[in-house]
Amino acid sequence: MDLTLLVLAAGMGSRYGGLKQLDQVGPSGETIIDYSVYDAIEAGFNKIVFIIRKDIEKDMKELLFDKYSKKIKIDYVFQELDNIPEGVDLPADRVKPWGTGHAVLMAKGVINEPFVVINADDFYGKSAFRVVADYMKSNQDDLKGKNCMAGYLLKNTLSDYGHVSRGVCKVNEKNELVEITERTKIEWKNKKIIADNNGNDLELDGDVFVSMNFWAFTPDVFPELESEFKKFIQKNSTDIKSEYYIPSIVSHQMNSSLATFKVLEANDQWFGVTYKEDKPIVIEKIKKLTEAKEYPEKLW
């Protein structure tokens, strides 16, 4: 079965203060992307597509793509601000692309097989790639409409150095997603997990599943994604900060009975580099995984 990994690597890194896609965190100078690609290959993925910006193309090719291409098929496309559906006017003051849903849409022309979406700056762990790949392969004879995601407990995905955004999930007795709510500015406050709710504090349960943007789709999502994104951008064209998130297309597919989303628990701890202060923690955690022989000293 063909299975593609779609890596969202076009982020600006505004809170981090730099290009975290290429920051070295492993014992031999590895990036977080290196570990995701390594785990994906182990899990049986056979193609990787990157969503990047034109201004980082040279660095990405020299530092990452050239070495990956010796192990797996590599492709990449650009997420640019003006890459929007025909008939939609670009707001004059807009400076950023349109979010993760827009990023996925950029791959429409290069992905024709089941695929998994991840963030470039998140360390997911081996189990996420394994359980999602196994689910997709086990349903390959009748995969249409049977999507899935790797779920993590909210309390295990926060930063000690600032707020984060998470897709908070509600599941049924079959562990199928029934609702996902994008919550922003989630952080620890007085030993409680608090999110922003239209300017008010909202306490969240730390044991609830959240999406870390580890989604598995079939390629029939693209026509729906394009249609829904066009509606979104027409409605929000005057809001220069609006973004179309992946959970929006997920909710549309569920509400329209186009797909189900199985929530598969990822047993490994998630960690990432949202803020500069997160980097030493990430380095230490990867060091411990290397010492435990989960990964070799030199990945590539």
pLDDT of residue 45: 98
In a domain, 280, yes or no: yes
Burial call 266-298: b when 16+ CB within 10 Å, e when fewer: bebebbbbbbeebbebbbeebeebbeeeebeee
Estimate to the nearest angstrom the gap between the alpha carbon of 268 and the chain centroid.
16
DSSP 63: I
In a domain, 211, yes or no: yes
In a domain, 297, yes or no: no
- Determine the Cα–Cα distance for residues 139 and 137; give it in Å rounded to an integer: 5
Residue 51 has pLDDT above 70, yes or no: yes
Residues 244-293: tens digit of each pLDDT: 989 899 999 999 999 999 999 998 889 888 777 888 999 999 999 999 99
* Mean pLDDT, rounded, of the chain: 89
In a domain, 296, yes or no: no
In a domain, 75, yes or no: yes
- Determine the Cα–Cα distance for residues 204 and 222; give it in Å rounded to an integer: 32
Residues 172-209: tens digit of each pLDDT: 999 999 999 889 899 999 889 999 988 899 999 999 99
In a domain, 299, yes or no: no
In a domain, 193, yes or no: yes
Distances (CA, A) of 67 to 71, 161, 169, 189, 300: 8, 33, 36, 43, 7
CB 210: neighbour CB atoms within 10 A?
Answer: 26
In a domain, 20, yes or no: yes
Residue in this structure with the two tokens 């598995």, named with its chain if needed = 216
pTM summary value? 0.89
Number of structural domains found in the chain: 1
Task: Note whether 8 and 51 are within 8 A (CB).
Answer: yes
What CATH number does residue 85 fall under? 3.90.550.10
Point out which residues pair with 168 in neighbouring strands: 181, 210
Q: Which domain holds residue 110?
A: 4-291
